[in-house]
């Protein structure tokens, strides 16, 4: 299941990935989901774009 989610994250634009991450934090979603998004952000070297 995680593999499917990771493949889907690859299809998100950088902007949508950042939006999803910020919204997940704002809505207090699962810590595992937030870590998954954060991992993708890190792999794309976008860490400087998150607040």
What is the enclosing helix (H) or strand (E) of 19? helix 14-26
Distance, in Å, from the CA atom of 15 to the CA atom of 3, rounded to the nearest integer, reads 22
| Burial (Cβ within 10 Å: 0-12, 13-18, ≥19) of residue 37 | buried
Write the pLDDT tens digit of every residue in 1-51. 566 666 788 889 999 999 999 999 999 999 999 999 999 999 999 999 886
Residue 13's CB is within 10 A of a number of other CB atoms, namely: 8
- Tell me how many helices (H) and strands (E) the chain has: 3, 0
Task: Please give the distance of CA 25 from its chain centroid, rounded to a whole number.
Answer: 10
Report yes or no on whether pTM surpasses 0.75: yes
């Amino acid at each position: 299941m995680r593999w499917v989610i990771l493949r889907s994250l690859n299809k998100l634009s950088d902007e949508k990935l950042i939006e999803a991450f910020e919204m997940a934090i704002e809505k207090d979603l699962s810590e595992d989901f937030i870590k998954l998004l954060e991992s993708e952000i890190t792999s794309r070297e976008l860490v400087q774009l998150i607040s």
